[in-house]
Amino acid sequence: MDKTKLTNNEKRDVIKYIESGKSLPDKYRFLLFEDKKEVELVWNGKTSEVSNIVLPFQTIEVVDEPRAENTEDTKKSSQLDFLNELGYDSRGRQIAGWTNKLIWGDNKLILSSLKNGALRDEIEKEGGIKLIYIDPPFDVGADFSMKMEIGNEELTKKPSVLEELAYRDTWGRGADSFIAMIYERLSLMKDLLADDGSIYVHMGIQVNHYARIILEEIFGKENLVSEIIWAYGSPSGGRAAGTKLVKIHEYILHFAKNYHNRIENKTYLSYSDKYINDWFKYTDENGRRYQQRMRGRKSDGNVKWEKQYLDESKGVPASTVWTDIKQIYADPRAYKVNQGGHSEILGYPTQKPEKLLERIIKASSNEGDLVADFFCGSGTTLAVAEKLGRKWIGSDLGKFSIHTSRKRMILVQRGMKEGIKDYRAFEILNLGKYERQHYIGVNMNLREEEKQKQLEKKEKDFLKLILKAYKAEAIDNFRTFSGKKAGRLVAVGPINLPASRLFIEELIKECKEKQITKVDVLAFEFEMGLFPKVQEDAKVQGIDLALKHIPREVFDKQAIEKNQIAFHDVSYIEIKPHIKRKSVAIELTEFSVYYNQDIVDNVITNLKNRANKVIVEKGNIIKISKDKDGIITKEILTKKWTDWIDYWAVDFDFESKKETIRVKNDKGKIKEIWTGDYIFENEWQSFRTRKDRKLEFKSVFRKCSPGRRKIAVKVVDIFGNDTMKVIEVNI
């Protein structure tokens, strides 16, 4: 602050403003502070502070399409040694080197943990992130629901309450909230970029003007590389509501971390027929196209001509207006022109064409570089990066997005395997129980003992919140129960651990002591293999035991106040092992869910005559129709249990890979800690795609070493929610 720049009158004015509690006029901001900017975006609540939270990542699953079909393929010991040297096991599954990351969760926490945590060292070893592409939600009226096929009908899957509030609240408080959200995340992304890295920010016309000023403030206007206009529609126009002009373009802002040090690969576009015919009109005896260029005059005064041949290997240098890449549509029925063909359409609302990402990735990265997308949606950036030989990190808040990306990347692996091209394993991560500790306010920088004390205190407060969300009444004088609802006692599992068999046994013990017969158990996670056995054991003892998942949405107090929280019963899986000599296959024999989406009475009330709607009620997908006379009919579309399954996978040797987290100690050294859990290694899977709705319900036979082993099966339903069951077999 430099007070000498103020006149005596201005100093008196400042004192008057302060004494009266009024805001200072803007002119004083520029007079008082030396680090003023010529142009600056100011919004309510602006701060330069960014999140420094460090949460360890939890590995949920590792996916790697085997390069050999099974371990029965005979390999000499020399071949196995060679595979191990290359970083692969006997089946060609990756065991060394960088593993790509697909991360589920809030990208602010993810970015902060990547920036400040142990994974930062891994990123730096790979040369840092060379390219970030993001396409954040920017449309005020955007619909984040998904269209899902159920037989010949279509179900609209609503976003989770967490997604709904995260996206809507970005706009709910006006532009301020969107700008604050993107400002902090862009600041974190800049820190993660390598010195020669670039960021491409894809925006619509609603917020592009804000985004550019924010990027100039964070990266410096001297590091603006280009503002690209992606003109994806026809210049001749099309349909538009009322008198509006037809919208056929969006913006992509390209900034470098260091303009003069950035990776820049020249982009060329294929020559158009018009260009060739206009400029290269002539053909020589070999059929090569050329143009006549004047090269001075001869001694006799006549023009000297020279042939300039068309170099077909290059093309025309790309401009900042891209008109050759057409948009793709979430709904195939709206499909017009798609450079990638129908197979590229995944039904994701904001999906972008692979050709668009291919151009960006080729322009600002090289093979082997690390590319990231922190709003990855359906995984287009990740798929293109893999095909182009880049490493990648992707994240998204939506669980359905993560599941869509998982299936897409498995298909990419299969395609590259068929084409005999190299590909990398990828792992699915989240912040899991550590994220829950953060949400309830535990200081993650405390020592473990102090952290545990704070967690115990916070859990008591959070218990009240859980019971309120479940609409249960708090009760005392019980060891294991904390609430009561509709004649059933309610027990809430620990915040940062799965509800264990020991926890359930203590609960049943108290039930027998006090003659309790109806119990609901609420937990974020349940110990693997816990159900349905514990429910069957409880039933024998006269106890009706219901296990229910606590949704992540309970972290949002606004959702609780609006009664938007739905606790779902634990899904039920039945599997059957088939053992043949030293091999085992797994058959999926039963799966059940209990979901609700929409209230039937409300749907019927609001349904117009000659209309219908598909809803979810008590684990059934139902089509409700109203005819011209207002008569209601209901048709159950989920005819059998298999209709609920979108994907299932098998780990034939569960508990062979321990889950460890890497954390930095007070001295900055990294140590690995076993969480007590194991990583699901995805060895075989079957899933539905838009083109192929069929599923296999029996896995291939996998050769196994003799003895007892645990096999895990993961099932993902059509809503993207996953359930796992572990069985023990003797080979």
Phi/psi zone of residue 45: left (φ > 0), alpha (ψ -120 to 50 degrees), beta? left
At 259 the pLDDT is: 96
DSSP 62-108: EE---SSS-TTS---HHHHHHHHHHTB-TT--B-SS--EEEEES-HH
CA atoms within 13 A on the CB side of 200: 26
User: Is 3.90.550.10 the CATH classification of the domain at 58-64+100-117+128-267+318-436?
Assistant: no
260 CB contacts (<8 Å, ≥6 apart)?
none
DSSP 16-27: HHHHTTPPPPHH
- The residue behind tokens 């460090």 is 54
CA pair distance 556, 554, nearest whole angstrom = 5
Q: How large is the angle between the packed helices 533-540 and 501-514, nearest 10 degrees? A: 20
Q: Rounded to an integer, what is the distance from CA 224 to the centroid of its chain?
A: 28
Instruction: Choose among 713, 586, 592: nearest CA to 649.
Output: 713
Residue 542, both tokens: 């006269």
Burial 84-114 (b: 16+ CB within 10 A, else e): eeeebbebbbbeeebbbbbbbbbbbbbbbbb
- C-beta neighbour count of 565 within 10 angstroms: 18
Domain ranges of the chain: 3-32, 58-64+100-117+128-267+318-436, 273-309, 453-494+497-569, 572-730
Grouping H, G, I as helix, E, B as strand and the rest as coil, residue 342 is helix
Grouping H, G, I as helix, E, B as strand and the rest as coil, residue 590 is strand
Mean pLDDT of successive 10-residue stretches along the chain, which has 731 residues = 67 82 71 62 71 86 78 46 62 84 92 93 95 81 60 65 56 69 93 97 86 93 95 67 78 96 91 81 86 82 82 80 78 39 54 92 97 94 96 91 93 91 92 72 75 80 88 93 94 82 92 95 80 83 91 72 76 91 93 72 81 79 87 85 92 89 76 84 90 90 91 89 88 88
Contact predicate 504/441, CB 8 Å: no
Residue 346, both tokens: 């995944």
Helix (H), strand (E), coil (C) string for 291-312? EEEEEEECCCCCEEEEEEECCC
At 148 the pLDDT is: 65
CA pair distance 36, 165, nearest whole angstrom = 36
CA pair distance 346, 355, nearest whole angstrom = 15
CA pair distance 295, 305, nearest whole angstrom = 6
Backbone angles phi and psi of 191, in degrees to 5? -65, -30
CA pair distance 231, 584, nearest whole angstrom = 54
Which class in CATH covers the domain with range 453-494+497-569?
Answer: alpha beta
Query: pTM score, two decimals?
Result: 0.79
> Across-strand partners of 519?
489, 545
